[in-house]
Amino acid sequence: MEQNIIAVIWDFDKTLISEYMQTPIFEDYGIDSSEFWNETNQLKEYYKKQGIKVNPDTIYLNHFITCTKQGIFKGLNNEKLLSYGKKLKYYNGIPDIFEAINKNIHTNENFNHFNIAVEHYIVSTGMAQIIRGSSIIGYFKDIWGCEFIEDVKASELLCDEQDAERNESQKNVCNNTGPEKEICQIGYTIDNTTKTRALFEINKGTNIKELQIDVNSRVNEKFRRIPFENMIYIADGPSDIPAFSVIKQYGGKTFAVYPSNNKEQFKQVEELRSNGRIDMYAEADYSEGTTTYMWLIEQTEKIAQNIYDKKMREISNSTSSVPKHLT
């Protein structure tokens, strides 16, 4: 494996955008977002009283389905989620920072000699369909996010061959009989802990179909597509500690951002730095000349230089010396 790829891995909410990606949904349906999130935050305790454990990172997906079935988000489906991606507002410097990082590596003749390149990824607990609909999706090699199902495969158990009407009723699991289908079930979730699985998928190349590698397969370090030391992970805070820890443990770089003039968020990322969770932090401004911009440019260049130096050593070590005349 060439191992000549640099992976720049981004969180989404509060990292690339200043709010939650679901904000356009609430605006479209006239819902107070704070009320929705307050209800969501109460669900863990509500279900705990029933003796049921829920995942606090992804229970919001269940609440979206509940609200859709209640008619609060009537007609909410994957097509609409895709359209909401166009309404997202990004921090300053997005998407220019992606192009700047790529260009800085691509225009270096030494790096080109070994086809060293940058790939950007998104690993988010948010909704994958909204991310796919965003104006920046073209910059990313792959994304991880949560998925909804609207067209459910019904079971044919207990179907009566003589009662076609009953059979058809059974198959309409989600009651999607109107002109617009609606989200009905959860298809895939990623939480703050399982983000680490996505990192290993990037590491091993599981997301590359041609390689046909299972994330649980044992893969020798030298055959992994992108070593962790070639990765940079950028996120906004304590919820990303599991991902920060994995990247740091295996030699990658970690960076946290916080909103300008937000004292509480600043304290959070400073604590992450003092505890050794991250290498660096700065304001969530990716404009040219900012600390964030310069750090990302510098670190991707350092990784590229390390790859180049390693390749040159390999060539040197594999080349025999020229015999000399004995004197």
CA distance 284 to 290: 9
From first to last of the 327 residues of the chain, give the pLDDT tens digit: 889 999 999 999 999 999 999 999 999 999 999 999 999 999 999 999 999 999 999 999 999 999 999 999 999 999 999 999 999 999 999 999 999 999 999 999 999 999 999 999 999 999 999 999 999 999 999 999 999 999 888 887 877 665 655 556 556 667 665 667 999 999 999 999 999 999 999 999 988 776 667 777 778 888 899 999 999 999 998 889 999 999 999 999 999 999 999 999 999 999 999 999 999 999 999 999 999 999 999 999 999 999 999 999 988 888 766 666 666
133-161 pLDDT, tens per residue? 999 999 999 999 999 999 888 887 877 66
Q: What is the largest CA-CA distance in the chain?
A: 101
Query: How many CB atoms are closer than 10 A to CB 246?
Result: 20
- Please choose, from the candidates 216, 212, 209, 265, the residue with its C-alpha nearest in 3D space to the C-alpha of residue 240: 265
- Taking the complete model, does pTM exceed 0.85, yes or no? yes
Fold for the domain defined by 5-318: Rossmann fold (3.40.50)
Q: Tally the C-alpha atoms within 13 A of residue 40's C-alpha that lie toward its C-beta.
A: 19
CA angle at 215 for the pair 211 and 221, rounded to the nearest 5°:
75
Q: Long-range CB contacts (< 8 A, 24+ apart) of 152-158?
A: 152/184, 152/185
Tokens of 259: 């909103």
Length of the chain (residues): 327
Domain ranges of the chain: 5-318
CA distance 242 to 40: 23
